[in-house]
Amino acid sequence: MKSWNKFALIFAVLLLTGAAARAQQAPATNEAPTLTSVLQTHLSVCEFEIVATAQAMPEDKYSFAPTQGNFKGVRTFAQQVKHVATVNDRLAEAILGQAPPTAPDEGITSNGPDAIQTKDQIMQYLKDSFANMHKAIATINADNALTPLKDAPAPFLRTRASIAMFTCTHAMDHYGQMVEYIRMNGLTPPMSAPRPTGVAPANPPPKPSGD
């Protein structure tokens, strides 16, 4: 019985220590969450992980695409990143009611403009696309979130809220592929990198809610 009590005490201390660490990592705020702030937070998480992963791949590996197995015709790492950025831009325009560009290499199913080639250019294109989506989400509120859009990008994306949520779904789909490409090149994805014991992952940078 004494050994059990000792184990229970140690377990309780560990729980309290973990809770304290998480509290220190969480940003202090007294503001009640809103629809806009919740959508912004989810987008920030996607942005944080995808941008870090895109940055982690060396530029000479940006042309990498798997060849072993059934990978014929898959996107290169650069095309994965550019595709995420392009879709972010097209969906942001849909939320804002803006006309998409007519260039074929900027369509929602494309891999982005052919002129964007270097890692620095691709990284800037990616970061700008997330900034555009944050601006678009800032216009979403409880009054217009579920209002049907006149020009929806797809039948299942008829509202601003559905577009904002799908932006994260789509981005994280490609994030999973980017992580595999990273590992295939003998690298460790930033979100899986070892950390000192008791250190939680860094929080994504806060974004304005637009309220």
Residue type, 21: A
Tell me the average pLDDT of the chain: 85
Helix H or strand E segment including 136: helix 119-137
**Minimum mean pLDDT range among 162-166, 168-172, 201-205:** 201-205
What b-and-e string marks burial along 140-166, b requiring 16 or more CB atoms within 10 Å of the CB? beeeeeeeebeeebeeebbbbbbbbeb
The residues, ordered by sequence, that sit 6+ positions from 54 with a Cβ below 8 Å of its Cβ are 81, 122, 123, 126, 178
- Note the CATH number of domain 34-192: 1.20.120.450
Residue 171 near residue 51 (C-beta atoms within 8 A): no
Q: Is the pLDDT of residue 28 over 90?
A: no
**Minimum mean pLDDT range among 45-54, 121-130, 145-154:** 145-154
For the chain, give every domain's residue range: 34-192
Q: Is the pLDDT of residue 198 over 70?
A: no
Average pLDDT over residues 61-81: 94
Q: Is the pLDDT of residue 116 over 50?
A: yes
Phi and psi, residue 115, nearest 5°: -70, -20
Task: Cite the beta strand spans of 21-164 per DSSP E.
Answer: none
